[in-house]
């Protein structure tokens, strides 16, 4: 029962800690216990995995902003942004109601993706390019690395191009699900070598150019973002074009 509440990372972290601090007998006994706990997970990975993975709920706020939650923590893509910036989508949000650990995953500094003034007032963590994070408290910034591990999130940033900004696209792996956020990137090459995704988040413009270049990654679902309200995306069969406030669940 205990192992179902414990994830791989915690187990490995404990294994390393034990070697450093205990006698050899304790190490052997605990290593044996570790193996006994690990073996069933290898034999029946699906059974274990299914029970351990909570569903992920998410909701479209506007532009490229979604709120994701696994019930333990909250992840936002490109939020908080400045409502109505450059004529894009407006929104209202009850920031005070947002409790618990929150991470903002920001692609670039443009105000329709990130509002630094608003962010300063929030006790949230942030992942983003340097020109987005440098003016914020070090305590709030999760440092950029080729692979960022935070709680149960694994985030792999990709440096991508967007009109003279430092721009990052992100592969996010959470509870075995893989999401890719293109942001405002628009170069088909940046989609190279992605794993098979559960959800691809992509703008209408990039969807078209990537489709034309035959570079769209395999994805269980394509969700269009940074669209206009009511926009139709021709050729995007089975795509979801979310409305503001629309909610989803991934199991």
Contact flags string 65-104 toward Zn ion, x per CB under 5 A: ----------------------------------------
The structure tokens listed for 107 are: 């692609």
54 three-state secondary structure: coil
- Which residue's entry shows tokens 């034309």? 212
Torsion over CA: 93, 96, 100, 103 (sign): positive
**Closest residue by beta carbon to Zn ion:** 112
Residues 206/186, Cβ–Cβ less than 8 Å: yes
Nearer to Zn ion, 64 or 70 (CB): 64
For residue 80, say if its preceding peptide bond is cis, omega within 30 degrees of 0: yes
CA distance 246 to 251: 17
Nearer to Zn ion, 70 or 184 (CB): 184
Nearer to Zn ion, 108 or 177 (CB): 108
Least Å from the CB of residue 110 to Zn ion: 5
Least Å from the CB of residue 84 to Zn ion: 13
The structure tokens listed for 55 are: 């569903």
Least Å from the CB of residue 112 to Zn ion: 4
Residue selected from 184, 190, 204, 225 as contacting Zn ion according to rule CB under 5 A: 184
Least Å from the CB of residue 226 to Zn ion: 6
Interface with Zn ion includes 112 (CB under 5 A)?
yes
* Region of 76-84, 130-138, 179-187, 216-224 interacting with Zn ion (CB under 5 A): 179-187
| Residue 45 per-residue DSSP state | H
Q: Residue 108: which H helix or E strand, with range?
A: none
Nearer to Zn ion, 173 or 184 (CB): 184
Q: What b/e string do you get for 1-20 counting C-beta neighbours within 10 Å, with b at 16 or more? A: eeeeeeeeeeeeeeeeeeee
Chain residues in the site for Zn ion (CB under 5 A): 112, 184
């Amino acid at each position: 029962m205990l192992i179902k509440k414990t994830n791989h990372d915690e187990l490995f972290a404990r294994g390393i800690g034990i070697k450093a601090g205990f006698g050899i007998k304790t190490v052997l006994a605990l290593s044996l216990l570790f193996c006994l706990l690990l073996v069933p997970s290898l034999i029946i990975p699906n059974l274990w995995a299914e029970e351990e993975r909570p569903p992920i709920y998410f909701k479209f706020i506007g532009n490229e902003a979604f709120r994701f939650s696994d019930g333990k923590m909250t992840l936002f893509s490109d939020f908080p942004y400045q409502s109505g910036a450059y004529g894009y989508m407006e929104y209202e949000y009850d920031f005070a109601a947002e409790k618990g650990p929150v991470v903002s995953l920001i692609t670039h500094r443009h105000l329709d993706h990130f509002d630094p003034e608003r962010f300063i007032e929030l006790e949230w963590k942030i992942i983003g390019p340097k020109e987005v994070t440098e003016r914020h408290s070090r305590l709030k910034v999760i440092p950029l690395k080729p692979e960022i591990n935070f709680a149960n999130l694994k985030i792999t940033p990709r440096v991508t191009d967007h009109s003279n900004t430092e721009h990052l696209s992100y592969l996010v792996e959470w509870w075995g699900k893989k999401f890719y956020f293109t942001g405002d990137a628009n170069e088909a090459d940046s989609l190279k070598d992605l794993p098979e995704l559960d959800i691809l988040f992509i703008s209408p413009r990039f969807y078209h150019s990537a489709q034309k270049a035959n570079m769209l990654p395999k994805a269980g679902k394509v969700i269009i973002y940074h669209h206009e309200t009511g926009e139709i995306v021709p050729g995007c069969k089975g795509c979801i074009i979310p409305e503001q406030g629309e909610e989803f669940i991934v199991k």
